[in-house]
A and B are shown apart, each in its own frame.
Chain A
Amino acid sequence: MNAPKPPKSLSGQLCPACREGHFQLVQVEHVEEVAEDDPLTIPGVWVDRCDRCDEIVFPGDTVRFIESLVAEQTEQLTPRELERIREDLGVRTQDEMSEALGLGAKTYHKWESGAQFPTRSMSYYIRLLAEFPQAFEWLRGRAWRKKNRLFQQESQTDLTAMFPDLASPSVVIECRITASPPPPTSRRFNPAIGLSRVAFANK
């Protein structure tokens, strides 16, 4: 993929590192360290380089371009992919998608705006939902909640079947609770007071 030329750069401005040279927009080969993966070598990356001290500065657009390549390498979904998946799944707004996926209020917005990237595992999960829209509908409708209610009803029936004698009306379990008489009220014993009285009496 060709690196896009950044529309905004510091070309022609004084380098703050050496304060002698000036920046020039040039293309270089950039090596990006990617956690748990091999380093990613990106040719033709646009950077501002000082013509005197070779100090390199990355324009914001270049950083975003590198981030998108890293996301691709680490199989994280890019904002464009997320938007396409959301539209394919028939979800109109980012809020609805956030709600369906059970995310925090702002998380999905951040993903689609590119402010954050979903993790690799979350990307796998969303890819799976994109591949199986039925699964997404199941998730969106929170279908397991109904299933849990059914399970509770079934379990009650099972208990009756397991203990028929308890369920029969002829068995009466009498439960009598008798309250024990309250303890006699007595003054709380304070050993310190008692001792001082003894000491006083001895004097």
Chain B
Amino acid sequence: MQKCQYIREHDLPPPATAEEIAQVRNACDQRGTASFGRSAKESLSLWRISEAQIRGSLIRHITLGRRVFHKYKNDSSGDLIPRDVQANVTLPAGFDVYVEVALMGEGMIIIYAHDHTPGKLLLPQ
């Protein structure tokens, strides 16, 4: 059995602020706007889960006090993507996926929802 390996604490991106987390939660509760990017929409179809389930998973993640992080740009500059947060979320089916969210006004776009890349260290929950 392969051992789960998480990114070390000092290598983690900074956590999302309380306001950002509250905004994600509100959007998931449908008090704000929750939209889906093309990639996230395709993942939902592939996994055969509904958009309500992924919103529910995010609410559960936040309610349980699990962690939400910012995201670094892919250009190795060490800069953060503005208004962008990510989390390692457990779906109702029982498996964990990365969910990346772009915060928009009072709403959000779930840009990506994807499986963990094999061999890469995981974001802790």
Contacts and interface: CB of A to CB of B under 8 A. Distances in A.
Interface of A: 8-10, 13-14, 16, 32-33, 35, 48, 55-60, 63-64, 67, 70, 113-117
B35 A59 contact: yes
Given A16-B83, A16-B84, A8 B51 contact: no
A58 B35 contact: yes
B45 A8 contact: no
Given A16-B83, A115-B50, A32 B45 contact: yes
A10 B50 CA distance: 21
Contacts of B107: 8, 10
Contacts of A64: 50-52
Interface residues of B, number: 27
Contacts of B105: 10, 13
Given A13-B105, A116-B53, 9 more contacts: A16-B83, A16-B84, A16-B104, A32-B45, A57-B36, A57-B109, A64-B51, A113-B52, A115-B50
Nearest to B56: A115
Contacts of A116: 50, 52-53, 92
A60 B34 contact: yes
B125 interface: no
A115 B52 contact: yes
A58 B36 contact: yes
B44 A63 contact: yes
A2 B90 CA distance: 35
B102 A59 contact: no
B84 A8 contact: no
B35 A60 contact: yes
Contact of B51 (A33, A56, A60, A113): A60
